[in-house]
């Protein structure tokens, strides 16, 4: 098992898939000559040339639609949207074309595009560069949404996304590109559906995805060390569809659930996981499920404001403990 960074894992997946299939192409702003803002496509331009590694104009809806159209006839575009904030501009082609074409053509056409984009809050990038849009993509029928929490997933999810017949949105994170982790040396394809138990536990389940998985893991350590609470951590690497069975399995075991999301609460991952728990295993609950979310504000630039706008490990611990202090249901 080689240690590599998140961006290196994404780059490796690109490279392998482009070698495997001449119709796999990469496109996006500054991904070619410049090698990509986060280096995810570094060196590919030199290796595969301008026809397959395409520096696009600043035309998000246009080049996303272009990738979708190319995918109609067998091309497998991996589209990088430099920051998820710019995806607001491309939602028309993603929602109206990519996600609906299979259905409205009665199965004749499909749009096997991969759209990758960093979708978290980094450091002081301000309101227009700090949106978290996973909730928007999860609401679009016909689109798959995955979000890697480590280099192994970043590699394996992109590999499978490229091969899959469906359009897949991959929600990455600006703060994770330099994260190190193990990636198997042998080629592999990560499942696009399901969830992963990142830590076994008995007392409460902490649900996270992408960066928040790491907050959950750190919180779990503190909960064990300082509060004797044994938390299970579930990594929801597939946000659409969500792994109903995996969610139920864990809650049926721990009887308590905390969903940790980097985004604001309204109509988000936390709400959807809570809804699934209510629908699938309400009677397993010993306490109300709760969500730890960002404040419902555009993200401020100033550091002290930004810090409190986004959830942190301390909050996860503290909010989780309320489940044990609060009166039991029966």
Partner 1 sequence: MNVMPGYVSQGARQDGYRPLSVADRKRLLREMLFARRFEERCYEAYVERKIGGFLHLYSGQEACAHGVLEAARPGHDYVITGYRDHIHAIKCGSDPRAVMAELYGKEAGVSRGRGGSMHIFDVAHRFMGGYALVGGPFPLAVGIAKGIKLKGGDEISICFLGDAANNQGTFHESLNMAKVWELPALFVCENNLYGIGTRIDRSTAVLDQYKRAAAYNIPGIQVDGQDIEAVHKAASAAVEHVRSGQGPYFLELQTYRYRGHSMSDSNAYRSKDEEKKWLKRDPITILRNRLIEENELSLDEFKTMDREIIDHIENDIVRFAEESALPSAQDVDKYVLAENDPWVRGKGEKA
Ligand X SMILES: Cc1ncc(C[n+]2csc(CCOP(=O)(O)OP(=O)(O)O)c2C)c(N)n1
CA distance 40 to 172: 11
Site string for its own copies, 72-111 (x = CB under 8 A): -------------x--xx-xx--xx--xx--xx-------
Q: List the one residue from 49, 126, 266, 314 that touches partner 1 (CB under 8 A).
A: 126
Scan residues 278-307 and list those touching partner 1 (CB under 8 A). 295-298, 300-305, 307
CB of 86 to partner 1, least distance (A): 7
Is residue 164 involved in binding partner 1 (CB under 8 A)? Answer: yes
Interactions with ligand X, residue window 82-121 (CB under 6 A): 82, 86, 89
Active site annotation includes 60: yes
Distances (CA, A) of 279 to 245, 254, 268, 274, 288: 12, 17, 17, 9, 13
Measured in degrees and rounded to the nearest 5, phi and psi for residue 36 equal 95, 135
Q: Please, what is the Cα angle at 294 between 199 and 245, to 5 degrees? A: 40
Q: Would you give the binding string for ligand X spanning residues 35-64, x where CB under 6 A is met? A: -----------------------x-x----
Partner interacting with residue 180 (select from ligand X, partner 1, its own copies, none; CB below 5-8 Å by kind)? none
- Asked if 133 is part of the footprint of ligand X (rule: CB under 6 A), the reply reads no
Catalytic residue from among 60, 80, 261, 262: 60
Taking alpha carbons only, the member of 324, 315, 201 closest to residue 259 is 315
Shortest CA distance to 151 belongs to which of 113, 177, 189, 129?
Answer: 177
How many residues can be counted in the chain?
Answer: 330
Stretch touching its own copies by CB under 8 A, among 158-166, 170-178, 220-228, 264-272: 264-272
Question: Which DSSP category does 85 fall into?
Answer: G
Rounded to whole angstroms, how far apart are CA atoms 172 and 274?
23
Partner touching 69 among partner 1, ligand X, its own copies, none, CB below 5 to 8 Å by kind: partner 1
SS3 label, residue 327: coil
- Choosing from 129, 173, 214, 255, the catalytic residue is 129
Task: Give CA separation, 96 vs 56, 100, 103, 296, in Å.
Answer: 21, 6, 11, 28
What is the binding site for ligand X (CB under 6 A)?
29, 58, 60, 82, 86, 89
Residues labelled catalytic: 60, 129
């Amino acid at each position: 098992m080689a240690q590599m960074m998140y961006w290196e894992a994404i780059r490796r997946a690109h490279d392998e898939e482009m070698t495997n299939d001449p119709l796999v192409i990469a496109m996006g702003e500054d991904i070619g000559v410049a090698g990509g803002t986060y280096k995810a496509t570094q060196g590919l331009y030199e290796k595969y040339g301008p026809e397959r590694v395409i520096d696009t104009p600043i035309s998000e809806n246009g080049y996303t639609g272009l990738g979708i159209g190319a995918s109609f006839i067998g091309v497998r575009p991996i589209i990088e949207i430099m920051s998820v904030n710019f995806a607001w501009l491309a939602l028309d082609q993603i929602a109206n074309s990519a996600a609906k074409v299979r259905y409205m053509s009665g199965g004749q056409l499909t749009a096997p595009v991969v759209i990758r984009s960093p979708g978290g809050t980094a450091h002081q990038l301000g309101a227009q560069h700090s949106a978290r849009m996973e909730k928007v993509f999860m609401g679009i029928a016909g689109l798959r949404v995955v979000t890697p929490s480590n280099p192994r997933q970043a590699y394996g999810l992109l590999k499978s996304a490229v091969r899959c017949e469906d359009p897949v949105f991959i929600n990455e994170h600006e703060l994770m590109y330099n994260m190190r982790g193990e990636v198997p040396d042998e080629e592999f394809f990560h499942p696009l559906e399901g969830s992963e138990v990142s830590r076994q536990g008995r007392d409460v389940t902490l649900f996270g995805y992408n960066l928040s998985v790491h907050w959950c893991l750190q919180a779990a350590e503190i909960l064990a060390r300082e509060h004797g609470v044994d938390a299970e951590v579930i990594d929801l690497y597939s946000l659409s569809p969500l792994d109903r069975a995996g969610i139920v399995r864990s809650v049926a075991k721990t009887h308590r659930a905390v969903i940790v999301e980097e985004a604001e609460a309204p109509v988000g991952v936390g709400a959807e996981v809570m809804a699934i728990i209510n629908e699938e295993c309400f009677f397993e609950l010993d306490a109300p499920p709760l969500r730890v979310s960002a404040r419902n504000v555009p993200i401020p630039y100033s550091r002290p404001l930004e810090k409190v706008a986004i959830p942190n490990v301390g909050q996860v611990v503290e909010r989780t403990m309320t489940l044990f202090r609060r009166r039991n249901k029966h």
